[in-house]
């Protein structure tokens, strides 16, 4: 890909290439997040702390080969990419005129990534905040706890501290590539924390989440709980899923050589049964 971009009229010089993962590896199928706890489907660091690499000719030479450890979320790509494309203030649009049901929570990371700013602009990240009135696979999957209760569990990161509310599954440390000889099926049924007794970790000093600070630091626990519950009244995805549009999905893929493309126009809703782009 790099060679093709360099050969195609110098496109590499104007490219920002980012590689990242969407979540931690599933530990049930030869995945490894060692030495982190948990994996895909959990909000332990093994499920949410992922690697990323940034390259491309657009990246200044002074930023190459550096390591950044500031807080960045995948939804910060929204503001970052739109800013690079010339859109003003895409992450803090007070009028919310871009079709989102909630105000964007996104920061422009380009000054940080390029070396123009010494620190990440993000100080807080809601890692999960479930408010469903029924169980979904996000909460219980294949009979195993992932995050319960489905209404009231989640996690928030603020600075060095991370608060976990609810019973969170896969609360175990897995070796390099799991399952292995040290793995048992019971390990998939371990869970930690609860809604009544939330956990608090300093994930800068203790990214393995071995030392629960909730009892030792009650003031910090109260502050983090207040930050977490401050989001209770904000928009959440509805419990009832939108209408299944598999027919439209297949139709638009057939019309575009097997590739799915957007099939709603700007005036259609998520429950619309017609119109195509």
Q: From CA 203, how far away is CA 160, in angstroms rounded? A: 6
131 and 225 part of one domain: yes
* Reported confidence tier of residue 204, pLDDT bands at 50, 70, 90: very high
166 and 252 part of one domain: no
144 and 113 part of one domain: yes
Average pLDDT of span 256-272: 64
Within-domain flag for 176: yes
**Domain CATH code at residue 33:** 3.30.1120.10
Within-domain flag for 21: yes
* Reported confidence tier of residue 91, pLDDT bands at 50, 70, 90: low
Q: Which of 239, 175, 203 is nearest to 48 (CA)?
A: 203
**C-alpha dihedral, 131 to 132 to 133 to 139, nearest 10°:** -110
Tens digits of residue pLDDT in 25-81: 988 787 889 999 999 989 999 999 999 999 999 999 999 999 999 999 999 998 999
52 and 155 part of one domain: yes
Q: Which of 197, 179, 199 is nearest to 188 (CA)?
A: 179
Nearest-5° Cα angle at 116, 112 to 121: 35
43 and 9 part of one domain: yes
3-state helix, strand, coil in the chain (%, to 5): 20, 15, 60
Average pLDDT of span 191-201: 96
226 and 262 part of one domain: no
Ranges 40-44, 55-59, 233-237, 260-264: which has the least confidence = 260-264
Ranges 9-23, 35-49, 58-72, 173-187: which has the least confidence = 173-187
Within-domain flag for 26: yes
Residue 128, pLDDT score: 95
Average pLDDT of span 244-265: 83
49 and 180 part of one domain: yes
Residue 277 has pLDDT above 50, yes or no: no
Average pLDDT of span 257-266: 74
Residue 108, pLDDT score: 93
30 and 52 part of one domain: yes
* Count of domains observed in the chain: 2
Comparing 78 with 228, which gets the higher pLDDT? Answer: 228
Within-domain flag for 205: yes
152 and 43 part of one domain: yes
Residue 269, pLDDT score: 43
Q: In the chain, where does DSSP find H-type helix?
A: 2-7, 45-48, 76-84, 110-114, 218-229, 246-255
* Reported confidence tier of residue 225, pLDDT bands at 50, 70, 90: very high
Within-domain flag for 79: no
Within-domain flag for 250: yes
Average pLDDT of span 181-198: 84
Tens digits of residue pLDDT in 108-127: 999 999 999 999 999 999 99
137 and 254 part of one domain: no
Average pLDDT of span 246-266: 81
256 and 160 part of one domain: no
Average pLDDT of span 134-139: 88
200 and 169 part of one domain: yes
276: containing domain: 243-277
Q: How high does pLDDT run on average in the chain?
A: 87
Residue 160, pLDDT score: 97
If one counts every other C-beta atom within 10 angstroms of the C-beta of residue 39, the result is 25
Within-domain flag for 184: yes
Within-domain flag for 258: yes
Entry pTM: 0.85
């Amino acid at each position: 890909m790099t060679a093709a971009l360099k050969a195609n009229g110098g496109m590499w010089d104007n490219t920002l290439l980012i590689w990242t993962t969407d979540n931690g590896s599933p530990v049930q199928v030869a995945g490894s997040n060692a030495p982190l706890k948990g994996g895909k489907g959990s909000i332990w660091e093994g499920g949410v702390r992922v690697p990323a690499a940034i390259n491309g000719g657009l990246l200044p030479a002074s930023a190459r080969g550096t390591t950044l450890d500031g807080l960045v979320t995948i939804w910060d790509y929204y503001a970052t990419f739109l800013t690079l494309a010339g859109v003003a203030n895409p992450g803090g649009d007070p009028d919310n005129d871009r079709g989102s049901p909630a105000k964007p929570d996104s920061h422009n990371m380009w000054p940080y990534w390029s070396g123009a700013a010494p620190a990440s602009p993000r100080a807080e990240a809601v890692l999960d905040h479930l408010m469903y009135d029924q169980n979904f696979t996000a909460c219980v999957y294949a009979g195993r706890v992932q995050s319960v209760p489905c209404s009231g569990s989640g996690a928030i990161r603020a600075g060095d501290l991370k608060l976990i509310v609810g019973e969170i599954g896969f609360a175990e440390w897995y070796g390099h590539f799991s399952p292995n000889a040290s793995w048992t099926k019971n390990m998939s049924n371990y869970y930690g924390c609860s809604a009544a007794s939330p956990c608090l970790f300093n994930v800068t000093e203790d990214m393995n989440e071995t030392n629960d600070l909730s009892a030792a630091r009650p003031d910090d626990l109260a502050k983090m709980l207040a930050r977490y519950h401050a989001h209770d009244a904000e928009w959440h995805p509805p419990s009832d899923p939108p209408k299944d549009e598999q027919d439209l999905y297949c139709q638009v893929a057939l019309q575009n050589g097997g590739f799915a493309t957007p099939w709603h126009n700007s005036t259609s809703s998520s429950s619309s049964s017609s119109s195509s782009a």
